[in-house]
Structure 1
Amino acid sequence: MSEALVPHKKRNYKPLIIIVTIIVNGLVAVLSGMPGYENFDAFDVRILPLLNAIFNSFTFLFLLAALIAILKRKVTLHRRFIYAAFTTTTLFLVTYVAHHFLSSSTPYGGEGFLRPVYYFILITHIVLAAVIVPLALTTVTRAWNMENERHKKIARWTMPLWLYVSFTGVLVYLMISPYY
Structure 2
Amino acid sequence: MNQQVKQRNYTPIIVVLTIVINLLVAVLYFMPKYKGLGDINLTFLPFFNAVMNSFTFIFLVAALYSIKQKNIQRHRRYIFAAFTTTTLFLVSYVTYHAMAPSTHYGGEGILRPIYYFVLLTHIVLSAVIVPLALITVTRGLNMQVDKHRKIARWTMPLWLYVSLTGVIVYIMISPYYS
Q: TM over 0.5, yes or no? A: yes
Do structure 1's residue 67 and structure 2's residue 44 form an aligned pair?
no
What CA deviation, in whole Å up to 9, does each residue of 1:107-152 have, x standing for no partner? Answer: 1111110000000000000000000000000000001111000000
| 1:126 alignment partner in structure 2 | 123
C-alpha distance in 1, partners of 2:74/2:154?
20
Q: Call closer, same or farther: CA 1:144–1:41 in 2, change over 3 Å.
A: same
Do structure 1's residue 159 and structure 2's residue 161 form an aligned pair?
no
Do structure 1's residue 24 and structure 2's residue 29 form an aligned pair?
no
Alignment RMSD (CA, Å) = 1.2
Do structure 1's residue 147 and structure 2's residue 150 form an aligned pair?
no
Normalising by structure 1, we get a TM-score of: 0.95
Among residues 83, 105, 108, which one is paired with 2:105 in the alignment? 108
| 1:11 alignment partner in structure 2 | 8
- Quick check: 1:34–1:104 contact (8 Å CA) kept in 2? no
Unaligned ranges ≥5, structure 2: none
> Alpha-carbon deviation of 1:38?
3.1
Q: Call closer, same or farther: CA 1:169–1:14 in 2, change over 3 Å.
A: same
Normalising by structure 2, we get a TM-score of: 0.96
After the TM superposition, which of the residue ranges 38-47 and 51-60 deviates more from structure 2?
38-47
| 1:169 alignment partner in structure 2 | 166
What CA deviation, in whole Å up to 9, does each residue of 1:144-168 have, x standing for no partner? Answer: 1110000000000000000000000
> Alpha-carbon deviation of 1:40?
4.0
What SS does the aligned partner of 2:61 have?
helix
Q: How many residues align?
A: 177
Amino acid at match of 2:32: P
The alignment-based identity, stated in percent, is 62
